[in-house]
């Protein structure tokens, strides 16, 4: 009776005598999750704090220290125990909450339970209700700016040619779209869309941001001199002679306030426009870090694209 060997002899016909070692294929996932637990969670609570009411008299601060065992205790059950009991492998998360009343000066502090946080196993998986699963991140558009050539299309039986389009994609917040287009027999115009609303002249956005004739005299003229193809559009939107006297007499609003109201009418068509509301919208939409964040990656890509 012939007996086959338990281990077959393997022959190699390759030119390399040594084979590279297989790298740790889950190192990126594990390192990313470890950073999120050790640093990311604290950054999130730091970004949203303090939470204030409308009158800004009451505020709530949330503080999380990942090195404090009282705020981040270890999981109660092991991975094998969670599989046997059909449980989720997780650890409780606590934060130190500080409630401040500015009217009375009263400050209350308390440790608050925020919830059970799913933990990653050593194999880069999660145990959800006793079942080991792999979480796949959703593909999202990377923050930055994108420029692309325009296209010809017909609108209301009239051909229009977009020369170039651009979009600023923030990590968090509203998109800002730019385009340069030309209709047959008309001047080249540059426009922008905020929150994907109707198109606005680019000069309206610049004036709303403070680059107007009052706050930055001569800026718009330098802008047109640099982009000389916008001279035709500039002649239609530039302020008439004697606009300073009209503003002083109250017959005309300052150009920045006019631009703010024009933007607010586009993005909030059902609300009564006011300069205060328009200014608050623009500040909250693009200058409040909680609502608008280009992120370091987006800023790097924007500077690289603009070579600045």
Quote the pLDDT of residue 49. 82
Quote the pLDDT of residue 162. 64
Q: Each residue of 80-121: pLDDT tens digit?
A: 999 999 999 999 999 999 998 888 888 898 998 988 989 999
Q: Each residue of 240-296: pLDDT tens digit?
A: 888 888 888 888 888 898 999 999 988 888 888 888 999 998 898 888 888 888 888
What is the domain class of 144-306 according to CATH? alpha beta
Contact 240, 181 (CB under 8 A): no
Which residues are CB-neighbours of 238 under 8 A, at least 6 positions away? 220
Q: Is the pLDDT of residue 159 over 60?
A: no
Q: Is the pLDDT of residue 10 over 80?
A: no
pTM, rounded to two decimals? 0.64
**Is 194 or 19 the better-scoring residue by pLDDT?**
194
Indicate the burial class of 273 (C-beta count within 10 angstroms; 0-12, 13-18, 19 or more). middle
Mean pLDDT over 225-247 rounds to 86
Which residues are CB-neighbours of 47 under 8 A, at least 6 positions away? 289, 290
Mean pLDDT over 148-168 rounds to 67
Quote the pLDDT of residue 126. 92
Question: Could you tell me the residue ranges of all domains in the chain?
Answer: 27-75+93-125, 144-306
CA gap 87, 301 in Å, rounded: 43
Positive or negative: CA dihedral 74, 78, 84, 86: positive
Quote the pLDDT of residue 127. 92
């Amino acid at each position: 009776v012939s007996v086959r060997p338990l281990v077959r002899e393997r022959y190699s016909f390759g030119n390399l005598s040594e084979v590279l070692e297989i790298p740790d294929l889950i190192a990126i996932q594990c390192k990313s999750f470890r950073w999120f637990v050790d640093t990311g969670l604290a950054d999130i609570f730091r970004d949203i704090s303090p939470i204030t009411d409308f009158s800004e008299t009451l505020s709530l601060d949330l503080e999380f220290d990942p090195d404090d065992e009282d705020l981040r205790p270890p999981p109660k059950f092991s991975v094998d125990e969670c599989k046997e009991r059909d449980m989720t492998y997780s650890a409780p998360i606590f934060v130190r909450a500080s409630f401040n009343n500015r009217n009375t000066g009263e400050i209350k502090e308390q440790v608050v339970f925020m919830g059970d946080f799913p933990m990653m196993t050593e194999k880069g998986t999660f145990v959800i209700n006793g079942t080991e699963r792999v979480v796949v991140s959703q593909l999202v558009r990377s923050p930055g700016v994108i420029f692309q050539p325009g296209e010809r299309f017909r609108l209301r039986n009239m051909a229009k040619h977009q020369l170039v389009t651009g979009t600023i994609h923030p990590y968090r917040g509203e998109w800002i779209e730019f385009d340069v287009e030309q209709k047959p027999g008309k001047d080249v115009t540059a426009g922008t869309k905020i929150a994907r609303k109707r198109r606005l002249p680019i000069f309206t956005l610049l004036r709303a941001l403070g680059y107007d004739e009052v706050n930055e005299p001569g800026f718009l003229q330098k802008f047109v001199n640099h982009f000389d193809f916008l001279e035709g559009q500039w002649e239609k939107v530039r302020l008439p002679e004697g606009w300073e006297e009209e503003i002083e007499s109250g017959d005309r609003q300052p150009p920045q306030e006019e631009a703010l109201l024009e933007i607010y009418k586009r993005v909030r068509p059902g609300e009564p426009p006011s300069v205060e509301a328009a200014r608050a919208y623009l500040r909250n939409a693009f200058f409040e870090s909680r609502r608008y964040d280009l992120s370091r990656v987006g800023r790097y890509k924007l500077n690289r694209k603009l070579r600045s």
